[in-house]
């Protein structure tokens, strides 16, 4: 039985980035992409499923093999328009010189719309004009996508001029950098290519948006669970006789650190899966603060609240400020990924790092009836550090396009940067209070307050996640 969901064949010249565009659009990292032209030889359908239900499908196709001769045949064709594709395929299907052309055109007979992909960083050639003309002759609704593989933008005007003759919509969409907002914007433009599918696409866009908020809600819940587990951490040991108490304390502390690292890693894995990075694991740039251990002094001097803010929140004494150690606040205006280049000196590190990391300021450890008790967490800075790291991770993962397969550290695009003002130190006092109340409820195990504090925290996180996911980076070139 034929499905009624909208289908689009992604077509174009070999190696222009068709499969990459599809992979990003469909958020499917199982699509085969390769620098060698001719990677895709057969059509493959990639449906997008939401809650197990297919809502739209994209078809990966081989690149045009013989566009000029195919066009010539079509121009000489005498039969009825509606039989053009069927007759073309039956005339060429056994000719190896037209293998790919027959394959890529077949989905159009079955009713698929066209998404034509070109690498706009090179000039328009006659071959491209032939391909565009073939697509126009098919009479199917069609959109052109400019996927710039290189930084070069000098040929864009040329492309747009050509596109206006042949397509119903044009859009710049980079398979390696497109964000969620840009995917939605592309679907919006796709509506313009055919009135008949406008309504269906409206439904698809709605479903995409709802699915995205559902993922954000799940992400918020995962972060909250992580916070609760870490902040309420409590263990008790009876130090064996004759054992050095200091050693036991250190071991307890190390166990806590291990627990936090493990739980954090597991949370990130889940977030990664929520955003459908199933096969490839996006790599952080070498200079990312997330590459630092969560208990590294560097982490504690870059992330979380400033000393001043902590004092304001009653988590640090004014003496710390008097001692002149609030230099860390100087990082407030710096992008967190770029700030790593040694801007911070030892003073800042001493302020928020060492002070909290050593001793018992972070985690209470006390002797109680011959037993050593550790936890719960005493400093809210632990919560802010976890929050900042999770937000950084989230921002990184949602901006890693599924079609991007270049792993080495070459992120010059800047889309991984999260400004300090978008992290907890930049949150309003009221927002920080929500965090403090949550911290209170968790660490004092105040069951009565916990439910409403968790609700507040979830709403706050949802707001932050949604703000991070709707930053649009490119605009449509033209729509008609
Ligand atoms: N830098 C950069 N590389 C890209 C971009 N889009 C695609 N590529 C690379 O270009 C090469 C070809 O990409 P594919 O998506 O496999 O191209 P295709 O059009 O499907 O190619 P065929 O299946 O061979 O027709 C791969 O090495 C991609 O990683 C881009 O936006 N930027
Ligand atoms: Mg391909």
Question: How far, in Å, CA of 280 to CA of 298, rounded?
Answer: 28
How confident is the model at residue 408, as a pLDDT?
53
For residue 478, count other CB atoms closer than 10 A to its CB.
Answer: 12
- Model's pTM, two decimal places? 0.88
Distance 42 CA to ligand 2 centre (A): 9
268-280 tens-digit pLDDT: 999 999 999 999 8
- Ligand 1, residues at Cβ distance < 6 Å: 12, 14-20, 33-35, 37-40, 62-63, 147, 149, 174-176, 405
Inform me whether the pLDDT recorded for 317 exceeds 70.
no
Mean pLDDT of 259-285: 93
How confident is the model at residue 387, as a pLDDT?
98
How confident is the model at residue 293, as a pLDDT?
95
How confident is the model at residue 312, as a pLDDT?
81
Is residue 383 a contact partner of residue 227, using CB atoms and an 8 Å limit? yes
The listed range with the strongest mean pLDDT (3-12, 96-105, 150-159, 350-359) is 96-105
Helix axes 180-191, 195-231, angle to 10 degrees: 160
Distance 63 CA to ligand 2 centre (A): 7
DSSP state of 174: -
Q: How far is CA 103 from the centre of its chain?
A: 33
Inform me whether the pLDDT recorded for 16 exceeds 50.
yes
Question: How far, in Å, CA of 370 to CA of 236, rounded?
Answer: 10
233-249 tens-digit pLDDT: 999 988 777 778 788 88
Residue nearest to atom 3 of ligand 1 (CA): 149
Mean pLDDT of 68-90: 97
Higher pLDDT, 353 or 303: 303
Residue nearest to atom 32 of ligand 1 (CA): 149
Q: Which residues contact 288 (CB under 8 A, 6 or more apart)?
A: 337, 340, 392, 396, 416
Strands 142-146, 169-172: parallel, antiparallel or unpaired by DSSP? parallel
How confident is the model at residue 345, as a pLDDT?
36
For residue 455, count other CB atoms closer than 10 A to its CB.
Answer: 11
Is residue 156 a contact partner of residue 446, using CB atoms and an 8 Å limit? no
- pLDDT band, very low/low/confident/very high, at 131 (cuts 50, 70, 90): very high
Sheet strands side by side (includes 371-377): 235-237, 371-377, 363-368
Q: What is the rounded radius of gyration, in angstroms, for the C-alpha atoms of the chain? A: 28
Distance 263 CA to ligand 2 centre (A): 38
397-430 tens-digit pLDDT: 998 999 998 755 455 544 445 777 789 999 999 9
Q: Which ligand is nearest to the CA of 33?
A: 1
Distance between start and end Cα atoms, the chain: 34
Alpha helices in 110-194 (DSSP H): 126-138, 156-166, 180-191
How confident is the model at residue 359, as a pLDDT?
57
| Torsion sign across C-alpha atoms 242, 245, 250, 254 | positive
Element (H, E) at 372: strand 371-377
Which domains are delineated in the chain?
Answer: 7-175 (3.40.50.300), 213-469 (no CATH)
Question: How far, in Å, CA of 388 to CA of 352, rounded?
Answer: 15
Is residue 356 a contact partner of residue 270, using CB atoms and an 8 Å limit? no
């Amino acid at each position: 039985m034929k499905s009624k969901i909208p289908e689009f064949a992604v077509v174009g010249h070999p190696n222009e980035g068709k499969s990459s565009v599809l992979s990003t659009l469909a958020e499917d990292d199982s699509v085969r992409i390769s620098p060698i032209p001719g990677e895709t030889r057969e059509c493959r359908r990639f449906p997008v499923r939401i809650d197990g239900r297919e809502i739209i499908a994209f078809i990966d196709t081989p690149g045009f093999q013989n566009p000029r001769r195919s066009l010539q045949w079509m121009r000489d064709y005498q039969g009825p328009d509606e039989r053009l594709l069927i007759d073309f395929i039956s005339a060429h299907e056994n000719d190896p010189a037209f293998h790919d052309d027959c394959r890529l055109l077949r989905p159009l007979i079955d009713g698929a719309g066209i998404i034509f992909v070109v690498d706009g960083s090179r000039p328009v050639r006659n071959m491209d004009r032939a391909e565009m003309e073939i697509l126009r002759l098919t009479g199917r609704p069609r959109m052109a996508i400019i996927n710039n593989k290189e930084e070069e933008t000098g040929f864009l005007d040329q492309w747009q001029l050509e596109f206006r003759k042949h397509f119903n919509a044009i859009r710049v969409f980079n398979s390696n950098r497109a964000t969620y907002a840009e995917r939605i914007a592309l679907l919006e433009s796709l509506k313009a290519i055919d009135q008949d599918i406008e309504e269906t696409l409206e439904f698809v866009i709605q479903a995409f948006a709802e699915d995205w908020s559902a993922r954000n809600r799940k992400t918020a819940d995962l972060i909250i669970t992580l916070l609760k587990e870490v902040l309420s951490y409590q263990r008790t040991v009876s130090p064996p006789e004759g054992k050095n108490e200091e050693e036991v304390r250190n071991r307890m502390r190390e166990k806590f650190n291990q627990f936090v690292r493990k739980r954090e890693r597991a949370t990130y894995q889940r977030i990664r899966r929520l955003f459908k990075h199933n096969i490839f694991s996006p790599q952080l740039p070498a200079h990312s603060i997330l590459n630092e251990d969560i208990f590294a002094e560097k982490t504690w001097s870059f992330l979380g609240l400033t000393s001043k803010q902590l004092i304001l929140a009653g988590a640090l004494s004014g003496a710390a400020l008097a001692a002149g150690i609030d230099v860390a606040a100087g990082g407030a205006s710096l992008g967190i990924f770029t700030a790593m280049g040694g801007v911070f000196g030892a003073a800042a590190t001493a302020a928020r790092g060492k002070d909290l990391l050593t001793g018992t300021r972070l985690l209470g450890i006390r002797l109680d009836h011959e037993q050593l008790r550790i936890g719960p967490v005493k400093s809210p800075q632990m919560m802010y550090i976890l929050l900042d790291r999770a937000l950084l991770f989230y921002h990184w993962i949602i901006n890693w396009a599924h079609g991007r397969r270049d792993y080495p550290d070459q992120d010059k695009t800047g889309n991984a940067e999260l400004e300090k003002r978008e992290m907890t130190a930049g949150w309003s006092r009221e927002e920080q209070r929500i965090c403090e109340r949550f911290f209170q409820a968790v660490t004092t195990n105040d069951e009565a307050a916990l439910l409403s504090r968790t609700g507040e925290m979830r709403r706050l996180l949802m707001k932050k996640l949604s703000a991070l996911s709707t930053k649009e980076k490119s605009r449509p070139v033209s729509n008609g």
